[in-house]
Amino acid sequence: MTRIDAKFAELAAAGKKAFVAYVMAGDPDYDTSLELVKGLPAAGVDVIELGLPFTDPMADGPTIQLAGQRALEAGMTLQRTLDLAAEFRKGDDTTPIVLMGYYNPIYNRGVDTFLADAKAAGIDGLIVVDLPPEEDEELCIPAQAAGLNFIRLATPTTDDKRLPKVLQNTSGFVYYVSITGITGAAAAEAGDVGPEVARIKAATDLPVIVGFGIRTPESSRAIASVADGAVVGSAIVAQMGEGKPVGEVLDFVKSLADGAHSV
């Protein structure tokens, strides 16, 4: 059982929904990013999604693209991202960390080396948005063998024919993308999301967490009411991009977490 599995079992036993926060590793620099990540659990974050900076983040909107650029310009690398996770783990051995990014940096490092290093750094799961299920032998299956969850995205265009393929080797949770398009592009609507979550839950026992288009405590609450939890990324990353103090950003994160937990 991974930390992700344990966390969702704990939440289910308590009748609580999950709040997942995405932040870009190294944005705007290593030290500030580490301070933010260390503060997330106390702000109510159940699962941390740690963005791996990449030069060509095709699924991400301008907010997260700019965050990745800031991180890369500040010297962030795959190794320093793993270092950040390892540093976080010195003070927190229970909050799950999902590394979210693209396959190129992992491929360049070598899959076996990467998986061993990620496991040693305290990473619990992976979301690699440019590896479809047809490429499961490449990373998904080796990751699961190494004890890491491999979390897949389902979208509004994932029809009933495609869904079993998406779910077949997924573990940890299913990430439902509430809108078509890139991160930060539109607002998620609970009325649209609810039936889709129900459709996915009919096909899997995994928790279904909804992300993209959630920016306020109200929308966090509304989405959590129709799913197993909510993910917020761009709205948090935008505050870092505005140069707000970490404490102020964490207050905002807490308001979002409180929204999801109030259901």
Query: Which pLDDT belongs to residue 159?
Result: 95
Catalytic residue positions? 49, 60
Residue 246 predicted with pLDDT over 90: yes
User: What average pLDDT does the segment 124-148 reach?
Assistant: 97
Q: DSSP H helical segments within 30-147, as ranges?
A: 30-39, 62-73, 78-89, 103-109, 111-121, 140-145
Q: Which amino acid is at 136?
A: D
25 φ/ψ sector (left φ>0, alpha ψ -120 to 50, else beta)? beta
Q: Average pLDDT of the chain?
A: 96
* 127 SS3 class: strand
Of residues 183 and 166, the one with the higher pLDDT is: 166
Averaged pLDDT for residues 233-248:
97
Using a pLDDT cut of 90, give the percent of the chain over it: 92
Q: Which CATH architecture has domain 3-261?
A: Alpha-Beta Barrel (3.20)
What's the pLDDT at 188? Answer: 81
C-alpha–C-alpha distance, residues 238 and 244, integer Å: 9
Amino acid at 255: S
User: Tokens at residue 215, please?
Assistant: 């920016």
pLDDT reported for residue 60? 87
Residue 49 tokens, joined: 């999604």
Confidence of residue 137 (pLDDT cuts 50, 70, 90): very high
- Going from N- to C-terminal start, the domains of the chain cover 3-261
Q: How far are the Cα atoms of 76, 85, 94, 148, 151 from residue 121, in angstroms, in the given order?
A: 16, 6, 13, 12, 18
The confidence score (pLDDT) of residue 185 equals: 65
Whether 92 has a pLDDT exceeding 90, the answer reads yes
Q: What is the mean pLDDT of residues 223-233?
A: 97
Residue 58 has pLDDT above 90, yes or no: no
170 contacts: CB under 8 Å, gap ≥ 6: 150, 151, 152, 204, 206
pLDDT (average), residues 182-210: 89
Output the pLDDT for position 68.
Answer: 97
Mean pLDDT of 202-216: 96
Predicted local confidence at residue 189, as pLDDT: 85
pLDDT for the residue numbered 182: 64
Q: Mean per-residue pLDDT for 133-154?
A: 97
Task: Give Cα 60 to chain centroid, integer Å.
Answer: 13
Listed in sequence order, the residues at least 6 apart from 45 whose beta carbon sits closer than 8 Å to its beta carbon are 19, 20, 21, 95, 253, 257
Name the band, by pLDDT with cuts 50, 70 and 90, for residue 3.
very high
DSSP letter for each residue of 145-196:
HTT-EE--EE-TT--TTTHHHHHTT--S-EEEE-SSSSTTSS---HHHHHHH
Q: Prior bond to 57 cis, omega within 30? A: no
- Mean local confidence (pLDDT), 163-173: 97
227 within 8 A of 209, measured Cβ to Cβ: yes
